[in-house]
Homo-oligomer: A and B are copies of this chain.
Amino acid sequence: MTISKKSAPVHQVEPEEKEPTSVAGLVLENRLGYALRRAQLTVFKHFNEAMQAYEIRPAQFSSLVVIEGYPGITQTNLAKVLDIDPPRIVSLINHLEERGLALRVRCKRDKRSHGIFLSKKGEALTQQLKELAEQSDIQATQSLSEIERRQLLSLLVKIYAPDTADE
């Protein structure tokens, strides 16, 4: 059902002739949340194209990098670092494990928890992907100079991790 007859007394009016195609001139242009969202989608699109051949999604890449940096990290801590919910980690690691990129190792002391490690194959792939990811970032932000790119990064970190940002 399409509800088209409503209260407000607006007469038959023609749609805009201008045919706008951007948010130029609108309040949206000054909305940080909106700009962040659009920029993120732009960068992710490039990233996904670059990773397509490897069938690696953003969250998988992030996991690989964190595991590489903290070999033996538990799933709970991985969830904390990436700020995602524990249930998401399960299928994430399952995929990596099925592909032979990572593996769970049951902890001797606390048999509830698993340390996660990269396989040799996983390590090699992660190296490759890190390079690809950097190239993708640069390509997606070609309108920025290297200095601007660094500036942007530093501003973003200040937002999502104000405690760890430089200082």
Residues on A facing B (Cβ under 8 Å): 2-4, 6-8, 10, 12-16, 18-44, 47, 58, 62, 65-66, 69-74, 77, 80-83, 94, 97-98, 100, 103-109, 113-115, 117, 119-121, 130, 133-134, 136-137, 140-144, 148-149, 151-153, 155-165
Contacts and interface: CB of A to CB of B under 8 A. Distances in A.
Given A12-B105, A14-B108, A164 B24 contact: yes
A103 B152 CA distance: 39
Contacts of A10: 103, 105, 117, 119
Contact of A16 (B3, B13, B72, B149): B72
Number of copies: 2
Nearest to A5: B103
Given A23-B161, A81-B22, A44 B39 contact: no
Nearest to A7: B100
Nearest to A90: B2
